[in-house]
Structure 1
Amino acid sequence: MPRTRPHAVFPIRDDNPHFLTPLVTVLLIGANGLAWFGLQGLGSEPLLSRSVCTLG
C-alpha cells in the first residue's frame, strides 16, 4: 500500500488573491495581547499570582 501524505491542519497559502492588508485581524490580535498583559498585571509578581489563582 502506498503511503499518502497527511493533509496539513493549517493551510500555509491558498490560491485566492488578496488585495487588502488584514487590518482587523491584526487589531484583534493586538487587542487580545493588550488585554492579556493588562489582566496579568504586566508581569508584576503579586498581580500575576493573583490573576492565576483567581482566573486559573
Structure 2
Amino acid sequence: MAWLFVVRSRAPAQGLTEYGLVLVLIAITAVGILTLTGRTLSQVWYQNLVERMP
C-alpha cells in the first residue's frame, strides 16, 4: 500500500514538469520562427515606412 502513496505523490510534480517542457518547446519554436522571419518583417516595415515619407 505504501507504493501507491509514493506513485500518487509524484503525479503533480510530473504534471508540472510536463507543462514546463511544453512551455520551453513553445518558446524555442517562437524564437526560431522570429529568427527566421525577423529580417524579412523588418525589411517590409522599413520599406513601408520609406514609401510613406513625403
Asked if these proteins are the same fold (TM beyond 0.5), I'd say no
TM-score by length of 2: 0.42
Q: Which has the higher contact order (CA 8 A, sep 6+)?
A: 1
- Bigger-Rg structure (1/2): 2
